[in-house]
Homo-oligomer: A and B are copies of this chain.
Amino acid sequence: MLDTILNNPKMETKSELIKVAIIEDRREIREGLSVMINFTDGFSCVGSYRSMEDALHRIAHNLPDVILSDIGLPGMDGIEGVKILKEKYPQILILMLSVYDDNERIFDALCAGACGYLLKKTPPAQLMESLRDAVSGGAPMSPEIARKVVTLFRDFRPPERVEYDLTPHELRLLKLLVEGHSYKTAALELSVSVNTISFHLKSIYEKLQVHSKSEAVAKALKNHLIK
C-alpha cells in the first residue's frame, strides 16, 4: 500500500499532472512529502532519492517537471547537485527546501540554477502552492528568503552615484590603474609620457579627493566609477 503511494504507478505523461521528484536524506520527510504530493490532485511523485548521487544516477528513468531538493545532504550537497542537474536537464525546475537561511547559501543556490528557495518550516499547503507557482513561471520563496534576496539585490547597485566629473581620458586612466597598471605601463598603453600620466593623476586625485593611487582605485571601485 505504502509502496503504491511512494511509487505511483499512474505516472503516465498526462500534461496536466505535475511530476515531482524529491531529494532528501531524512526518510520520514522524504516519505511524508511523497505521500502528500501523491495525495494532492494534479501532482504525482515520480521519484524520491536519499542523496544527490542517487538522484543523478536514477532520475533519467523518470524525469520530473520539478525537483524539491534539500541542501544539507550526505555526500554531494544540494547546491553542487543543482548545478549538475541544471546542466543535464535545463528544463527541470528545482526548488531548494532547506533549514538554512544564510545569504551565502541562498545566493549560491539561486545562482546554481534553483528557481525557488523554501524553508523547511513551510506549511504543506504553501509547499504545494509553491510547486504550482514554480511550474507556472514563478519563483517561490519563503517570505524571509524573499526579503533577503531583495536586500542582497540592493548591494549590487548602491543608490547614489556621485558625479565626479572625470573627463573620458581621466576615466580611461583610472581604469588602467584599477587593472594594476603603473605610471610607466599606463603611459605606454596610452602612448603618452609618464609626466602626462602624472599630470592627469593629479587632476583625478583632486576630483576624487584622494592622495594616492590605491585610494583612487578604492574610491573608483566602491563608487562603481568603473566596472
A residues apposed to B, CB below 8 Å: 1, 4, 9, 83, 107, 110-113, 115-116, 123, 125-126, 129, 133, 136-141, 143-144, 146-147, 149-150, 152-154, 156-157, 159, 177-180, 182, 210-218, 221-222
What is the CA–CA distance of A112 and B141 in the complex, to the nearest angstrom? 21
Q: How many chain copies does the complex carry?
A: 2
Q: How far is the CB of A43 from chain B (nearest CB, A)?
A: 13
Q: Are B213 and A213 in contact (CB under 8 A)?
A: yes
Residue in B111, B125, B133, B152 whose CB lies within 8 Å of A143: B133
Chain A interface helix/strand/loop/mixed: helix
Task: Enumerate chain B residues within 8 angstroms of A129, measured Cβ to Cβ.
Answer: 1, 4
Residue in B1, B4, B110 whose CB lies within 8 Å of A154: B110
Q: Are A123 and B9 in contact (CB under 8 A)?
A: yes
Q: How far is the CB of A119 from chain B (nearest CB, A)?
A: 12
Given the known inter-chain contacts A1-B129, A129-B1, A143-B136, please indicate yes or no for A180 contacting B107, CB distance below 8 A.
no
Among A138, A179, A182, the one with the most B-chain Cβ atoms within 10 Å of its Cβ is A138
Q: Are B146 and A141 in contact (CB under 8 A)?
A: yes
